[in-house]
Amino acid sequence: MERDNPIKVYIITGFLGAGKTTILNSLLQQFTGSRNIVIENEVGKVNIDAGLIDAKIDQLYELTGGCICCSLDNDLLEVLGNILGQEQRPDHVFIETTGIADAGNIIGMFHLPDVQRHYKLESTVCVVDAENIFERLQQAPETGKQVAAADVIIINKIQQLPVPQLVYLSQQLEQMNPLAFITTSETGTVSRKDLQFREKPFPGKEAVAPVKQPHKINTVLFESPIAFDLNMFVFVLDFYCNAYPDQLYRIKGYIRAYNSKEKMLVQSTGRYLHIVPAGEWEDANPSSTLVFIGRALKSATIQRMLAPAQKEKV
């Protein structure tokens, strides 16, 4: 099992024209001195973005005519396999998705055991176009999923944006995805430091967004001292994530599992669900805390959904 020196992966998402390639070029300039590979995905037959990468990189893979989140998912896995066969392995792989990609499905691939053995997903970055993000959120559900799946959100094209609007936009994004770090970019430039994954404290109840915005993306915080039956918990979440992918975008948190001293880290983006032990509880009274991000989520629905997986209080 090879885990010592995994290849670091960065996924760059964002709706069409948000500024993904511009941001990627700016980032690549800061990764000189290491071996970098870029994977460009374009829904059309011709990859325009590939020609726009002007930073020095070691190799460029172009995947065209579909999306690596669905029709070209095997092509992405094949490329990841090919990279491993190279004489000199890269240090970093940057993946620029199409503007309409379901980011959760791509993230899910990096949790496949065979992929995880060689690759480490460092960060999923979502580039947001400050000029039209609210329209995009209403027009395209993928935009909401991209925001929800991100570890880092970059608000781009802010030159023309009055400060109060920028503050409002940041607050809205924070409510949509309280787990992500939010930063801004004036001219498509961003610092490498902003990409570093940092665990953010979980939002308190006061940070949870009401569902009154027109885009209807919100967060529900679930907290309970009642232990979960792990098998049932997996069954229930798997079922709901697959049944409602257009409503349930992301789940993250820790649960208390019945008959286990360890807390379990739960991550779900799109249809994949990943649960791993995460050390013993430091708290004398352990309690599960889960953040749900999605479209028009209601606290009562989440509670009803999880109830069958909860054991009696012990």
Please give the Cα distance from 66 to 70 (Å, whole number): 8
**Positions that interact with ligand GTP (CB under 6 A):** 14, 16-22, 49, 99, 156-157, 159, 185, 187-188
Output b/e per residue, 222-235; b: 16+ Cβ within 10 A: bebebbbbbeebee
C-beta closer to ligand GTP: residue 18 or 182: 18
Closest approach of Cβ 25 to ligand GTP, in Å? Answer: 8
Per the listing, tokens 């176009």 go with 129
Rank residues 169 and 251 by Cβ distance to ligand GTP and give the closer one: 169
Cβ at position 163, least distance to ligand GTP in Å = 16
Question: Could you give the CA distance from residue 107 to residue 274 in angstroms, rounded to a whole number?
Answer: 11
Q: Within 10 A of 73 (CB to CB), how many other CB atoms are there?
A: 16
Q: Which is nearer to ligand GTP, 115 or 126 (CB)?
A: 126
Question: Which DSSP letter does residue 284 get?
Answer: S
Compute the least distance from the CB of residue 165 to ligand GTP, in Å: 15
Find the shortest distance in angstroms from Cβ 126 to ligand GTP. 11
Q: How far is CA 164 from CA 131, 160, 255, in A?
A: 14, 12, 38
Strand partners, 257: 228
Closest distance between ligand GTP and the C-beta of residue 187, in Å? 5
- Helices marked H in 230-293: 230-243
Q: Do 229 and 311 contact (CB within 8 A), yes or no?
A: yes
- Pairing mode, strands 36-42 and 119-129: unpaired
Q: Which is nearer to ligand GTP, 49 or 174 (CB)?
A: 49
Dihedral over Cα of 8, 133, 98, 272: its sign = positive
248 contacts 217 by C-beta, under 8 angstroms = no
Sequence length of the chain is: 314
Measured from the CB atom, is 53 or 77 closer to ligand GTP?
53
Output the smallest distance, CB 159 to ligand GTP, in A: 6
Output 49 or 151, the one with its CB closest to ligand GTP: 49
Nearer residue to ligand GTP within complex by CB, 47 or 310: 47
Least distance to ligand GTP, CB of residue 243, Å: 30
